[in-house]
Amino acid sequence: MIQKNAETKVAIDYTLASRWSPFSFNPSKKLSNEQIISLCEAGRWAHSSINEEPWRIIVCDRERNPNAFDKSMECIGEWHRKWAKNAPLMLIVCADYFIKKKNVTHNKWAQYDTGACAENIALQATAIGAASHQIVGFSAAKTRELFDIPDRYEPMAFMAIGYQDMSNKLGEDYYEKESEERNRRDLGDSFFDGEWGKAYLSK
């Protein structure tokens, strides 16, 4: 199995450095209910504006609820379906735009906060020795239809979670992508020192 730890300028937490998004999942290695609950708990304790907790997550456990898992496969694109079907767990991540505390219908921070929830889940997956892969290639309309999602909730992403398998079991296209070197923009291209565009490269 491929391990791709991030190359950082200074040391960061191992869970952060070792999290990446493989395509290869072991179809015979399951997640326990306790592990799935730990993922949900990690997401539950994410930060959110005025504690609205705008995330709603549909848990599709292939073992406990194969019907829900199969429906989730119908919603994602064929290219993703070929590898995601091997993951034992699919999460459907939705954002709630209604702010209960203010009784208004547009929470402009909903996506930001829901992303924090998803990141917590991804990091918890890494912490328990599993892996996650976010999927944005899906039909929102079909997801709403098959899972009866109310209009005020926006399906944001699917998240496949499971244990890595040998990458050479995938087709060539997936193997090449999974084998690619991890990279990011240089730190100073994204983090600025007190003003826009001035690279933060503290010495």
Per-residue pLDDT tens, the chain, 203 aa: give them. 778 899 888 999 999 999 989 999 999 999 999 999 999 999 999 999 989 999 999 999 999 999 999 999 999 999 999 999 999 999 999 999 987 877 767 888 999 999 999 999 999 999 999 999 999 999 999 999 999 999 999 999 999 999 998 877 777 677 777 778 888 999 999 999 999 999 998 65
> DSSP per residue over the chain, as a string?
--------SS---HHHHH----S-B-TT-PPPHHHHHHHHHHHHTS--GGG---EEEEEEETTT-HHHHHHHHHHB-HHHHHHHTTSSEEEEEEEE--BTTTTBS--TTHHHHHHHHHHHHHHHHHHTT-EEEEE--B-HHHHHHHHT--TTEEEEEEEEEE-B--GGGS-HHHHHHHHSPP----HHHH-BSSSTT-B----
